[in-house]
């Protein structure tokens, strides 16, 4: 039975970089954000988003992600509405994806809101990626060409590191990528030992 490793971390922690490193070592990785982008192209989901948030967030038939982000990242109720549409579809997408990799001992499910969405309950192992808050803020400002205020408002919508760590099996500090990669290798060794013992 393929085990699911949940990989999470706050915005700017570098969890996608860590996910990509796992992938380079041969572990199949599912990026929940990419899954969400895929499912949001389906007619059914587009209709639900239109009915919930209005046509204003569409440029013709194309979803304007910036407009949608502005709505949901400033209002927890609106974010909950979006998640109620997208999460079940992503879950289904992931389950189909796992079937393709059922010959593997492990697959990784990478999601920023693994805990907030409740999906952590479906994971066998959970890894949280951390980095100092200032480092995270700077990374996101550079990556998304956004403002400090916008980054902080998105951080407020997520669990803090302390809360995430309390529910995790492993923690990778991604302040220094070389050391973080060494942690990945250590974790895989531990998981392989446990796999061989079970």
- 88 near 12, Cβ under 8 Å? no
Phi and psi torsions of 112, nearest 5°: -65, -40
Q: Which of 83, 76, 66 is nearest to 156 (CA)?
A: 76
Sign of CA dihedral 191, 192, 193, 196: positive
Which amino acids are annotated as binding site, given as ranges? Answer: 12-17
Burial pattern 120-131, b for ≥16 Cβ within 10 A else e, equals beebebbbbbbb
Distance of CA 142 to the CA centre of its chain: 19
Pairing between β-strand 62-63 and β-strand 58-59 as defined by DSSP bridges:
antiparallel
Give the number of other CB atoms < 10 A from CB of residue 78.
16
Which amino acids are annotated as binding site for ATP, given as ranges? Answer: 12-17
């Amino acid at each position: 039975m393929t085990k699911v490793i949940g990989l999470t971390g706050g915005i700017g922690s570098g969890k996608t970089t860590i996910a990509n490193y796992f992938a380079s070592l041969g572990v199949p990785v599912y990026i929940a954000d990419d899954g969400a982008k895929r499912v949001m192209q389906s007619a059914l989901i587009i209709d639900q988003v239109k009915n919930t948030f209005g046509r204003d967030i569409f440029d013709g038939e194309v979803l304007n992600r910036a407009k949608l982000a502005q709505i949901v990242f400033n209002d927890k109720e609106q974010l909950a509405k979006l998640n109620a549409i997208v999460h079940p579809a992503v879950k289904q997408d992931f389950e189909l994806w796992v079937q393709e990799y059922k010959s593997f001992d492990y697959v990784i499910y990478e999601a920023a809101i693994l805990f907030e969405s409740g999906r952590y309950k479906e994971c066998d192992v959970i890894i949280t990626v951390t980095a100092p808050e200032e480092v995270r803020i700077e990374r996101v400002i550079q990556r998304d060409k956004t403002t400090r205020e916008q980054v902080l408002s998105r951080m407020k919508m997520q669990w803090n590191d302390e809360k995430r760590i309390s529910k995790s099996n492993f923690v990778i500090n991604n302040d220094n990528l070389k050391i973080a990669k060494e942690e990945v290798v250590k974790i895989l060794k531990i998981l392989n030992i446990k796999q061989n013992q079970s």
